[in-house]
Amino acid sequence: MSTVEQFEPETAFSAAGKPLTKRGETTRRKLLEAAEEVFARLGYHEASIVKITERAGIGLGTFYLYFDSKQQIFEELVVDLNRRVRHAMAEAMAGTDNRIDAERAGFEGFFRFTAAHPALYRVVREAEFVSPEMLRLHYTRIVEGYEAGLRAAQASGDVDTGLDPEVTAWALMGAGELIGMRFLLWERDDEGRPPVAIPDEVIDGMMRFIRNALAARTEKGQDHE
């Protein structure tokens, strides 16, 4: 869904702002993973630091070496999920030959990540009320890479030069998010389990729409399917 971004290794810090040791990074990661599960299951207001530390198997006092409050770990979780979903999309897109192939690979990477981390949807939506600036950061970071990729594809002739890259990036990101919601979050089998992937025919239908939206136009505009 975006350009193939280069991701530097994450530098983690303590609550006091000091770089963490490897052991400290491991503890912080456990807390974030526990927070992902607790916030997804209970929501922000019902979640608590006690529940997060219990889920992580870490002492309550240790929590404050890494985070100042429930809101801070929530905000850090938004940043963490955003970084990881962008990384998943970028990895999926690596090696594709054109923008349309990159689009499909990027969406597939996004859907795989969402299937493995359904908390992404709930956490981002709760950010609208808990920390609106983090909601905006999440979407803006994705769109920035997406827009850059579309501009590059326009320059290489892969994408219609008449499109506004920013508007197109927001539109396609919204489409991907809602397709994921419909075919991942809302689907359940007879035992109540969600699917592990979106069916290929759904992605095929989505890509037909995207190809028609993005395809470079001839003078007569005959590049639609």
pLDDT (tens digit per residue) in 112-162: 999 999 899 999 999 999 999 999 999 999 999 999 999 999 999 999 999
pLDDT at 3: 43
Half-sphere exposure of 98 (CA within 13 A, CB side): 10
Task: For residue 188, give both structure tokens.
Answer: 């359940």
pLDDT at 134: 96
For residues 223 and 217, is the Cβ–Cβ distance under 8 A?
yes
pLDDT at 9: 47
What's the distance, CA 148 to chain centroid? 17
Q: Name the stretches of the chain with pLDDT < 50.
A: 1-9, 221
Q: What is the pTM of this model?
A: 0.86
pLDDT at 192: 76
Q: Does the domain at residues 70-214 carry the CATH identifier 1.10.357.10?
A: yes
pLDDT at 222: 52
Burial class from Cβ neighbours inside 10 Å (0-12, 13-18, 19+) for residue 78 reads: buried
